[in-house]
Chains A and B, each alone.
Chain A
């Protein structure tokens, strides 16, 4: 029972961090129809900023600045590189590939700067742990769960109660109609990218914090694990992203925790389990758990 609790809590924490990344994917996709392949390097960029700034500014200052700068970078990339292409479905494909180019340049530069180092972010949790009844959890993980919950609630509020959120939802529903109604598509999109950038920088901190040894050049690759999370829930649904992330986090933790019982699937199945789950879900619900079925109008 303890082991199960242990795995569940670990999975919850992992899912909370994935949710920050997956939400970034979803916000960008909802606003621009682009699958952002540069998300991993944005995440690394944010983490790198915290790593180099925390000595001078302290952790909180470094994190605040990193979140702002990463948000600005993401917004600028969209405004000046991607938006030139336009807003229709074909340009979304093209822009998806443009993000690959951006990713290559950004990742090469960051990897060159980081080299073989393991950078510490100076976070306040260190390697402290808390005993919760029979199970032990790292403080950084508890912080991840708490921060993710607050931030995600905030993002949902943004969607629901602000004019920007309304515009975004309108644009996602029907781009042309929204434009005709006076929604400034460019600004709505850039805003979404900024939000995603900020979320990525925040996620970087938790991905590099304690159970992980620090920030390294490959930290951004973890964004890939959030891919299935975003799809699982439905690429355009924030609720789905949250649910998908938790499913993926729990699956990963449980499969690793019970690896010895799952021997027939081959060792190391934990790393591909998210994809297996994703396939199963898509078989039953082709548009994801929370994706609405595209109604065809004749």
Chain B
């Protein structure tokens, strides 16, 4: 039996390595357009994983993610910039993440008490109030036009296009360099989030989600755990914000609006609530799909060139129809999201290959967060 586990582990490690190598390839082939989409997707994935922790484990819903992204993005820009303390950029990154966590902590009087969809809407308030502050506190945020983001510099290596760098004959500009930073941050998020899910507090939160009363009886401090989940989720959002800021190279308040928050909610639901892999898939779906569709929609039949005729369907419109329809279709046919879809496909494949079902012990798929088996709750 132990042999078997070792075999699985080795295989897993090999798969992991292969995936890692494959993820390192794009900067050598794809141009800045694709790399930017990739960077946006990675940042979104980091934020979505944070939100997945909150909703999937603590059963909480947040529509305030855009606010915490903004705290991370602006926090980094302010800490490392001028006006601002002008700290070394490598120090500004963790501090910005802590700032986002602190903002989440300040919100804990609400986050600890308000539940489910109510918390979602309460956090919505943060987005609007935050946007107001971003526009008004001009000395810190630069007001409407935002601020330039200082490039990150790690031990003499700077993530921008300034000093020329060529790797294997390919010129490495800002996007190429940031790609690897994005990968590293994403890997960090992926492994810490999975660790957290399996840790003692993670299990306490899952108990909380399944039954608040039962968890309380078992000695889980409900409000404290809820607030803690909120803080952790905010910190991931802050990290995502930092990466976004670096990818955008300029932060503007209008980006961090309601639409962004709703996008994050869509990511975790489309991915499948409560799973790290699902959140990643959902993030790529919501971030990359509209961008790619807009880019390639003019290849579709019946789509007119932008601005050509009165009342014709332009590429952007076509892309929006397709994107909206994709959301509806995915969730109609896979209510448990992309993660559930993948799991079912894998199960079917495996069943076909080996008639005896082998439980995948190494990947304890997080319990279906679906409240299908959940005791009915009292709606206020």
Contacts and interface: CB of A to CB of B under 8 A. Distances in A.
A241 B265 CA distance: 24
A90 B74 CA distance: 34
Contacts of B332: 81, 84-85, 98
Interface stretch (A127-135, A200-208, A275-283): A275-283
Interface string A265-277: 0111101100110
B114 A296 contact: no
Contacts of B266: 97, 100
B114 A286 contact: yes
A282 B380 contact: no
B136 A100 contact: no
Contacts of A294: 115, 377-380
B273 A112 contact: no
B302 interface: no
A271 B135 CA distance: 13
A283 B273 contact: no
B117 interface: yes
A94 B317 CA distance: 25
B30 interface: no
Nearest to A176: B376
A283 B324 contact: no
Contacts of A113: 311
Interface residues of A, number: 65
A224 B258 contact: yes
B124 A275 contact: yes
B371 A90 contact: yes
Interface string A67-99: 000000000000001001110111101111110
Contact of B369 (A86, A90, A291, A293): A90
A234 interface: yes
Interface stretch (B84-92, B125-133, B162-170, B354-362): B125-133
Contacts of A174: 376
Nearest to B334: A94
B7 interface: no
Given A97-B265, A172-B379, A272-B132, A227 B327 contact: no
Contact of A227 (B121, B133, B370): B121
Given A35-B120, A174-B376, A288-B118, A93 B269 contact: yes
A97 B258 contact: no
Nearest to B325: A105
Interface in B99-123: 109-110, 113-115, 117-118, 120-122
A228 B127 CA distance: 13
A297 B211 CA distance: 11
A235 B327 contact: no
A103 interface: yes
A90 B59 CA distance: 10
A275 B133 CA distance: 13
Interface in A92-150: 93-98, 100-105, 108-109, 112-113, 115
B147 to A, nearest CB: 19
Interface in A146-191: 172-176
Contacts of A212: none
A89 B377 contact: yes
A186 B10 CA distance: 51
A108 B317 contact: yes
Contact of A272 (B121, B128, B337, B376): B128
A2 B131 CA distance: 33
A235 B117 contact: yes
Contacts of B131: 272
A292 interface: yes
Given A33-B379, A112-B311, A283-B109, A235 B118 contact: yes
Report, nearest first, the 7 A-B pairs whose CB atoms are least far apart.
A101-B327, A104-B324, A105-B324, A275-B125, A266-B136, A101-B328, A90-B370
Given A90-B335, A278-B121, A278-B122, 16 more contacts: A29-B117, A81-B332, A89-B377, A91-B335, A94-B335, A100-B266, A105-B328, A115-B311, A228-B125, A231-B121, A231-B122, A266-B135, A271-B128, A275-B128, A294-B380, A297-B213
Interface of B: 61, 109-110, 113-115, 117-118, 120-122, 124-125, 128-129, 131-133, 135-136, 212-213, 217, 258, 262, 265-266, 269-270, 273, 311, 313, 317, 320-321, 323-328, 331-332, 335, 337, 369-372, 374, 376-380
